[in-house]
Amino acid sequence: MTDADIWRAALGELSVMLSGPSYGLVRECQIVGREDGTVVVEAPGSSLCWLEGRLRPVIERVLVGVSDGAVRRVEFVQSVGQTEAVASSWPTDSVPWSLETFLPWLPVLGPVLWSVILLLRMAANDDGVVVMTAPTLARLVGVSARTVARALARSEADGFILGREVSRRREKGRWVAGKTVWRVSLEDPPR
């Protein structure tokens, strides 16, 4: 089987195993190499942490199955050209934090909470205020709103998320959530 055939077969199985957003991330990937039972999968930079942290075991298991054992391991790499694009668009002097100082928090926070905080920090104004609905935040991170809520409920979020206020409005006789005003710390808490 060629790499393209293996990936097509894996996508077929993964489409019934994964949620829509997770499958969407996997669908954007492709096999770019294979050597000694290790497959190298190219992924967009925005989904690399999620694929590494959450989906690797599932993807490996499926690839082993569809390749009849020819694949034993998966390595994810960032799409060519993505590294430069991310680096050139990254804020440099507009915020008092950087990716290099925030990256060590990934094992502590986990991929979902880390991504939520990173996204909120990138969208925050100079005072650390962001106006964004929870479903929009979840969609941008690539997970469900429930997953974001569970991540934000963790005690590790306390030093980063300083508060939030949800506006509510009456619609068709019911109260519905409107915009959420998030206050995020632009500085890392002490470890």
Domains of the chain in sequence order: 3-84 (3.30.300.180), 90-184 (1.10.10)
Q: How many Cβ atoms from other residues are within 10 Å of residue 88's Cβ?
A: 8
Question: pLDDT tens across 37-48, in order?
Answer: 888 888 876 677
Is the predicted pLDDT of residue 65 greater than 90, yes or no? yes
Model confidence at 12, pLDDT cuts 50, 70, 90, reads very high
Compute CA distances 61 → 6, 74, 82, 110, whole Å.
13, 10, 27, 22
- Asked if 95 and 186 count as a contact pair (C-beta separation under 8 A), the reply is yes
> What average pLDDT does the segment 116-142 reach?
81
Whole-model pTM: value is 0.47
Question: pLDDT tens across 141-153, in order?
Answer: 888 888 888 888 8
Model confidence at 99, pLDDT cuts 50, 70, 90, reads low
Tokens read off for 155: 């005690």
